[in-house]
Structure 1
Amino acid sequence: MKKNPQNRVGIDDMALYIPQLYLSIEVLAKERGIPFEKLSKGLGLDKIAIPDAHEDAATMAANAAAEIIERNQLNPKDIGRIYLGTESALDGAKPTATYVLEMLRRKYKKQYGVDCFQNCDVVDLTFACVGGVDALQNTLDWVRGNPDRIGIVIASDIAKYELASTGEYTQGAGAIAMLIKQNPRLLVIEDTIGVATQGVHDFFKPKRSFSKEALIEEILQLADIKDISATDILAKLPDSLEIHSILGENDQSLYLHKDTPIFDGPYSNQTYQNRIREALLDFRKKRVAINELTEEESILKHWSRMIFHLPYAAHGRRIASEIFMDDLKLSGDWAAFAQENELLMPQKEAFEQQDAYEKAYGLFLRSITKTGLYKAFVKEKLYQAEATSAQVGNMYACSIFLALMGTLEADYLEGNELGNKKLGCIGYGSGSKSKVFEVNVQPGWRAVVEQFNIHKKLATRQEIDYATYETLHRLQRSNSVQAAITGFKLDRVSDEPLRKGARYYSWRTGEQD
């Protein structure tokens, strides 16, 4: 099948927004009694990007979008859509993208008119950490239909875990905006996408219910009040359908949505590994069907770099061993490799218990990572993405795009030539789904990447101590940590009856908070 050269679509430019605050992993490790080397060398962690009190997924997304608009001198009236991939939504019905749109409209209304974004389509897409890839794929298909279409895709998230949980040290935050056009300067993306989906509960953020009676009983116990019961208190509530208080809600139970997830780390690693393997096989099958790959051809050798969703910096190198093995098998090189490295794959039928087999298989995959060929594979194709991820932490839907930007900037700074090279991108979202796609780096990529300024953005941040981190995590601060703010800021959340929960923002240019 021949490709239409006039119908090439992809990413023309990318912009990264990172919160100006960070917590050192060394500080957190000391506070939690965890050996720093375990997090630094084992997981590749160094710093956690921490949102200030005035920041949320909407402000970060708007800041990234504004950089794209201004650097490319875009007229907002020419932007046909702004699609947001996030799992940090601010409302159960109103898309977070509408807050982004309104912030941008207010910022640019004097220059382009009050209705400058009136005909722009916006929506949120949510599928854990792969929502940004979904937004990208959707917008690529839309842009492919008309050369005049221009879209912006944003991934924006705050990766927040409970204090002292096993996910706490992988936290992070930020947003990445991408300009999507035909004939892009940076990356062309073909429409072949490998997909694998399965409904599982490895990581999720459900509505959690708490009965009024249980809440009152807990308060009475804490206050050591014994002369009245929860039932007595509930009986005193007004017999009215009108809602005047929290306990006056009509439901018997109160529902709470938390930004922190319920998660099973080992199980999530397993589902990640399974889905990316299945999606990669689906990608191969589709490429073979259109004669762009042979049955025996190595897809990993086809890619100059591999871009993974990185929950932590070293995750790519730790998770890629199975697809590395599969690729060697397909290309006919596995038998010699296994013999040379004395690798013996455990056979499932030799184990009475599934857990015992899975443990043995995990150790087997780990032994692959210790071989010289695998280490060379990591050095050639994976390591470029790790340095930036280590300085920011997990960004959920942004993570794969941070790995992409970090790789491009690392190669730019090292003087490597990526023009006309192909990069393999492997996304994953818990719940669970993986998408695999290929990007073709354009000859003029260096002129775009030199404007990323990732290293400069990382170098100008403000370190905070543990006490400040905890107050931000607990949402105990009303004032920002930063002395002066440049960018979008959450001003207030309404408490008015017909606007309760509505959020209001402003643009600041270095003013004191």
Structure 2
Amino acid sequence: RDEPVFDGQYSNRCYQNAVRDAFLDFQRRAARAGRYTHDEDERFTEQWERIIMHLPYAFQAKRMFPAVFHRDREGTSMWDDVEAIVGAPPAREDNQDNASWEKAMDQYRRAISKTDAYVTFHRNRIEKGQRASSLIGNQYTGSIFLALMSTFESDLEDNTDLDGVRFGLCGYGSGAKAKVFEGTVSPNWREVVSRWNLFERLAGRVAIDAVVYEELHKGVREDSVVPPNGEFVRSEEEESDLEGARRYSWISA
């Protein structure tokens, strides 16, 4: 077909497969760099104290990460315990078409997501990242950064000790391209995170009606809904010799 196609299940499968493949690629690169030995070291999803995901919607990671959870734990006693509950992955039958095979695998991963092992894993390592997303919605390219902020601020509130621990991060783009990487938390993370006030700012949002929304959407509204405070705004003096240039001014808090 020449026109774009929207298929929610297909889109989810692209996300799931891309993140899984990116994770396996990261695993191979880490092994070549001497960072990781598969048969000796603790698996990455256990090494990472938190896992930060691109979240098109709040519960995307909870529903899509079982594919990585499965692959990372294969061959371990952790996976043996899960497999004792959900059984072995479905074997692909001769001449089985892709659609029915993918449907069977989707059902299998859904079964994994309901096990106590996965529920606990998600609660401990992923859930804090989805809290802000559930209040905002899809941030597109900003999604992984929002999940990171949500996680850090939630851990600050819980007085969690994250000094020096590793985070795993999984980014994704709509072209079905994913990247997995890791980072180590700096000892001064509390000082930085304490200035964000993410959830406080979200709680102070102002509701708008349909008329104001249309004005903002069409770019015809001249005044800000909320007076600028401690942020950059488009400057009224935008004359420039540079085509397409935009000038901004800082409004103090």
8 A Cα contact 1:295 1:330, kept in partner: no
- The equivalences for 1:100-499 within 5 A come to 263-296=6-39, 297-331=42-76, 333-339=78-84, 341-349=85-93, 352-473=96-217, 475=218, 477-482=220-225, 484-486=227-229, 487-490=231-234
* Cα distance in 2 for residues equivalent to 1:508 and 1:465: 28
* Cα distance in 2 for residues equivalent to 1:483 and 1:328: 49
**SS of aligned partner of 1:423:** strand
**SS of aligned partner of 1:425:** strand
- What do the CA deviations read for 1:88-142 (whole angstroms, capped 9, x no partner)? xxxxxxxxxxxxxxxxxxxxxxxxxxxxxxxxxxxxxxxxxxxxxxxxxxxxxxx
Matched with 1:199 is: none
* Cα distance in 2 for residues equivalent to 1:295 and 1:332: 14
Question: Per the alignment, do residues 372 and 469 of structure 1 end up closer, same or farther by CA in structure 2, a change over 3 Å counting?
Answer: same
8 A Cα contact 1:298 1:330, kept in partner: no
* Cα distance in 2 for residues equivalent to 1:482 and 1:458: 15
* Cα distance in 2 for residues equivalent to 1:374 and 1:415: 24
* Cα distance in 1 for residues equivalent to 2:72 and 2:191: 34
Matched with 2:249 is: 507
Question: Per the alignment, do residues 506 and 278 of structure 1 end up closer, same or farther by CA in structure 2, a change over 3 Å counting?
Answer: closer
Q: Greater CA radius of gyration, 1 or 2?
A: 1
Identity of counterpart residues, as a percentage?
A: 34
**SS of aligned partner of 2:74:** helix
Q: Which runs of 5+ in 2 are unaligned?
A: none
**SS of aligned partner of 2:221:** coil
- What do the CA deviations read for 1:403-425 (whole angstroms, capped 9, x no partner)? 11111111011111101111100
Q: CA deviation at 1:334?
A: 2.5
Answer with 463-472 or 357-366: which moved more: 463-472
Question: Per the alignment, do residues 304 and 465 of structure 1 end up closer, same or farther by CA in structure 2, a change over 3 Å counting?
Answer: same
- What do the CA deviations read for 1:13-50 (whole angstroms, capped 9, x no partner)? xxxxxxxxxxxxxxxxxxxxxxxxxxxxxxxxxxxxxx
- What do the CA deviations read for 1:490-510 (whole angstroms, capped 9, x no partner)? 46799xxx98x8454442648
* Cα distance in 1 for residues equivalent to 2:214 and 2:37: 54
Q: CA deviation at 1:373?
A: 0.6
- What do the CA deviations read for 1:283-335 (whole angstroms, capped 9, x no partner)? 11122223322213311111101001111111111110010011120435423
* Cα distance in 2 for residues equivalent to 1:446 and 1:491: 34
* Cα distance in 2 for residues equivalent to 1:290 and 1:485: 48
8 A Cα contact 2:163 2:187, kept in partner: yes
- 2:17 corresponds to which letter in structure 1? N
Q: CA deviation at 1:456?
A: 2.4
**SS of aligned partner of 2:34:** coil
- 1:319 corresponds to which letter in structure 2? M
Question: Per the alignment, do residues 450 and 357 of structure 1 end up closer, same or farther by CA in structure 2, a change over 3 Å counting?
Answer: same
**SS of aligned partner of 1:272:** helix
- What do the CA deviations read for 1:207-233 (whole angstroms, capped 9, x no partner)? x9xxxxxxxxxxxxxxxxxxxxxxxxx
Question: Per the alignment, do residues 467 and 370 of structure 1 end up closer, same or farther by CA in structure 2, a change over 3 Å counting?
Answer: farther
- 2:76 corresponds to which letter in structure 1? S
- 2:115 corresponds to which letter in structure 1? T
* Cα distance in 2 for residues equivalent to 1:504 and 1:285: 44
**SS of aligned partner of 2:21:** helix
Q: CA deviation at 1:265?
A: 3.0
- What do the CA deviations read for 1:183-240 (whole angstroms, capped 9, x no partner)? xxxxxxxxxxxxxxxxxxxxxxxxx9xxxxxxxxxxxxxxxxxxxxxxxxxxxxxxxx
8 A Cα contact 1:427 1:434, kept in partner: yes
Q: CA deviation at 1:368?
A: 0.8
Q: CA deviation at 1:349?
A: 1.8
* Cα distance in 2 for residues equivalent to 1:430 and 1:349: 31
Superposed CA RMSD: 2.8
Structure 2 length-normalised TM: 0.85
Q: Which runs of 5+ in 1 are unaligned?
A: 1-207, 209-260
- 1:507 corresponds to which letter in structure 2? S
Answer with 261-270 or 403-412: which moved more: 261-270
